[in-house]
Amino acid sequence: MTDTSDFVRIEHAQKSFGKLEVLKDISLTVERGQIVAIIGPSGSGKSTLLRAINDLDALTGGEIWLDGVQVNKTLPHRQYEKHINEMRQQIGMVFQHFNLFPHLTVRENVTMAPMLLKDLSKAEANKLAEEQLDHVGMLERIEYYPSQLSGGQKQRVAIARALAMKPKLMLFDEATSALDPELVDEVNQVMKKLAEDHMTMIIVTHEMDFAAAVCDRVLFMDQGVVVEEGPPEVVFKNPVKDRTREFLRKHIEGAK
């Protein structure tokens, strides 16, 4: 596709867990290279939306598109599995609790998926892992096990692991929320670097300063709907909606 707009397109996303309606008709587009932050109170459906994008939690209604291909298209079970595994290779995801594989070294964490899914030779995968780990400043720890790393280091390895699949889109679900305050910055630096490389990113975060600094657009979600969306200058400084103002006021007070 030559068109750079609508790289990611979410149309009327709807998600219920039983009777609980968590996402209510959410639509959103992200352009190639754009960085979108999603903020909002706990339970508003931020994680659910992010997890719907790579179908970890399947939507109950609506469509997700990435680069002209529908992620959650209707297919017979087997074909869908094949399709979704291919789509997920193009969508990197970083979790709050890192989810590194504890039985594998840092190197193996990064090389496993490329070797298995992209048929890279061991040498090629090692080269790729070294590049990616260098990019996040973790090359010296390549032979370590996750249990020997700090939280910030684990998260940087998790980012390298996702990047090794050469994704078109990166999703971050509160990547720094589980970290000690002094370790947050090293992860933020890595994310900033990705932003400079023009990676398309959707970032769920509680860090308003970071969101304001790196994001092109901010979405405020509450109770399963997008209440307000716009450039960070507007959403953070001059929000239109009362609920946004209320949330930001509480949040900033809470942070103090």
Partner 1 sequence: MGLDFSIVPKYMDVILLGCAWTIGITVAAALLSFFGGIVFAVIALYGPWLLRQPFRLFAWLFMGTPLLLQLFLIYFGLVQIGIDLPAFVAGIIGLGLHFAVYNSELIQTAILAVDKGQMEAARTLGLSRGEALRKVVIPQAVRAVLPPIGNNMIALLKDSALVSVIGVSELTLSAQRVIGKTYRPFEFYLLAAACYYVINLGMEWVQRRIERRISISR
Ligand X SMILES: Nc1ncnc2c1ncn2[C@@H]1O[C@H](COP(=O)(O)OP(=O)(O)OP(=O)(O)O)[C@@H](O)[C@H]1O
Total residues at interface with Mg ion (CB under 5 A): 1
> Cβ 223 to ligand X, closest distance in Å?
9
> Cβ 100 to partner 1, closest distance in Å?
8
> What is d(CA 175, CA 178) in angstroms, rounded to the nearest whole number?
7
Nearer to ligand X, 174 or 186 (CB): 174
Answer yes or no: are the C-beta atoms of 40 and 73 closer than 8 Å. Answer: no
Binder among 4, 148, 177, 238 for partner 1 (CB under 8 A): 148
Total residues at interface with partner 1 (CB under 8 A): 30
> Cβ 175 to ligand X, closest distance in Å?
12
- For residue 42, the tally of other CB atoms under 10 A from its CB is 7
Within 38-57, the residues that bind Mg ion by CB under 5 A are 47
The entry of partner 1, Mg ion, ligand X, none that residue 2 binds, CB within 5 to 8 Å by partner kind: none
User: Counting contacts by CB under 6 A, is residue 44 touching ligand X?
Assistant: yes
> Cβ 137 to partner 1, closest distance in Å?
21
> Cβ 218 to partner 1, closest distance in Å?
24
Place of tokens 């707009």: 5
Within 106-135, the residues that bind partner 1 by CB under 8 A are 112-113, 116-117
- Beta strand pairing status for 8-17 and 20-30? antiparallel
**In this chain, which stretch among 38-46, 69-77, 79-87, 121-129 interacts with ligand X, using CB under 6 A?**
38-46
**In this chain, which stretch among 36-44, 137-145, 230-238, 239-247 interacts with ligand X, using CB under 6 A?**
36-44
Tell me which residues touch Mg ion (CB under 5 A). 47
Tell me which residues touch ligand X (CB under 6 A). 17, 20, 22, 40, 42-48
